[in-house]
Amino acid sequence: MKAYKILICIGLLSLMTVSCEEDLLNTIPKDRLASDLFWQTEQDALYASTGIYSRLGDQWRYCSMDAFSDIAHFILQWRAESGIEKNTFDASNNVVAGEWSYYYGIIQAASSFLENVDKVEEMDANLNARLKGEAKTLRAFAYINLVMLYGDVPLVSTSMSVEDAKTISRSPASAIWDFVSTELSEAAAALPTTQAESGRVTKGAALGLKARAMLYAGRYNEAKAAANDVMQLGVHSLHSSYAELFDYAGESSSEIMFARQHAKDLDAHSIFYFYTANSLYTQQCQVIPTRSLVDAYLMQSTGLPIDAAGSGYDPNNPYNDRDPRLSHTIYKTGDILPNGAVLNTLPGNGSGDDITSSAENVTQTGWYFKKYVSNSDYAMPWNCGVNLIYLRYAEVLLTYAEACIELGGSNINQSVLDAINQVRGRADVNMPNVTTTNQAELREIIRTERMVELALEGHRLYDIRRWQIGEDVIPGTIKGMTYENPASPGTFVTVELSGYVKEFNANKHYVWPLPFNELELNENLTQNPNW
């Protein structure tokens, strides 16, 4: 693994594919090495391939996505991300432009690689095919995200000049999904089931991303088939510990199918800071959990939602007997922090996490995120090396189950229950088995399961969009913990950010606008409706 991460740094120096450009599709390389100096050896091809991976983002992009949904909240209201969360932004927001630029940068890099790799005359044919498969997978990964963010987008399969970028027009989302399906099928055929260098995509990763894409596209037969192909590989399995998956101990797990590779002192990030309790490091925390997420965790004994009759939920002990993934994902009052201290967010306790504190980065809901916060990073929270997961086997199982549920009829069988119950039944989760075969009931179960299993992994916004539930889950204020009022024993108070109101217009907010600067540069691009 360490060798691969060193290659990323080399790739950054030697990458000839794309340089940074302010204008999105206008990413004509300005640091390209002349072809008579590069593309001479297999090592050149490997460096160039690694350079595509090096474009994958750090914790800012990774951690922000769920804060644009209902399950997390950006503390700092002056940030551009807060405008995205509240749906009060417009096409000039720099997050809108940044995501467009980021994903098209990956596409440009991959396309340039595919155009040039055959210039290496003495190259092993299998290596050539494998590296092409990797580039196609990364390009498809970018397109999946672009469609889910913006809807119809320009379909680009070759590197572009500045002038080309000023004339291209949008393609229907259906055409993008067709392209992604073909790309990932071709990639899967060329990729091995395992890679010698950790971090490079495999056959399972390509098929798993195809399953995701086809689920997003509503092409359930294709999603089911691709997910089943992954399941039949016999390579991937669930890790026994949910908590370990997001710490160094789980990095080599076969459950993790595609992750951004990081390493302390070499290619680090600062995810610890991003989620840290204010009492550990002041003025650092960025994103916190909301009540929408906390309430989604079922009761462990009964498997019922907390508001269901007979669930066993006790408002005086709200975290007792809950799905253990709640404690693996979220810090709550009474939990032990990485420095050994006990977290206390209750009002008036006087700690650095007192919810009534006026400090800018103190939790406003009473909770902090625990997922990806490794105790071993406490001493140097800016120097985190834990890998950030883009795809894991649990998602594939849930994709298979959801596709079958949506297809209905004979597709809802024991294999669907087995897929869900595998995810719920890992050793440190151990939730009750699902037994119903009712389609409507299973649909609600799988949606809740995705919400809690995949929290903080960047799926929730896209799930809200494809399920068309934005108007039900987004609007309103942010709510947090419920606590007993110390001044009035027996009286409970629920935290609410009354001055922070989120909007949602179903005729507008299921996609982002195209960036304003792109429309200014290219008259062939049209804006999304009502933006």
Q: Tell me if the pTM is above 0.85.
A: yes
> In a 10 Å sphere around its CB, with 0-12 CB exposed, 13-18 middle and 19+ buried, how is residue 448 labelled?
middle
Supply angle C-alpha 181, 184, 189, rounded to 5.
125
Contacts of 404 (CB under 8 A, 6+ apart): 220, 224, 411, 412, 413, 415, 416
Q: Cα separation of 256 and 268, whole Å?
A: 19
Structural element, H or E, at residue 217: none
Task: Please measure the distance between the N-terminal and C-terminal CA atoms of the chain and give it in whole angstroms.
Answer: 45
- What's the half-sphere exposure (Cβ side, CA atoms, 13 Å) at 131? 28
The β-bridge partners of 482 are 494
pLDDT at res. 3:
41
Structural element, H or E, at residue 8: helix 2-14
Q: Cα separation of 106 and 135, whole Å?
A: 9
Based on its alpha-carbon atoms, the radius of gyration of the chain, rounded to whole angstroms, reads 23
Strand positions, DSSP E, 200-317: 256-260, 287-289
pLDDT at res. 23:
45
Q: Cα separation of 299 and 319, whole Å?
A: 9
pLDDT digits (tens, 9 = 90+) for 267-276: 999 999 999 9
Q: Cα separation of 194 and 72, whole Å?
A: 34
Supply angle C-alpha 330, 420, 236, rounded to 5.
90
Contacts of 7 (CB under 8 A, 6+ apart): 46, 47, 50, 197
Residue indicated by tokens 């490091």: 281
pLDDT at res. 58:
82
pLDDT digits (tens, 9 = 90+) for 344-393: 999 999 999 999 988 889 999 999 999 999 999 999 999 999 999 999 99
Strand positions, DSSP E, 223-276: 256-260
Structural element, H or E, at residue 485: none
Give the closest residue to 388 by CA, choosing from 143, 9, 60, 46.
60
pLDDT at res. 35:
60
Which tokens sit at 220?
């359930």
For the chain, residues with pLDDT lower than 70 are: 1-36
pLDDT at res. 162:
80
74 three-state secondary structure: strand
pLDDT at res. 221:
98
pLDDT at res. 366:
97
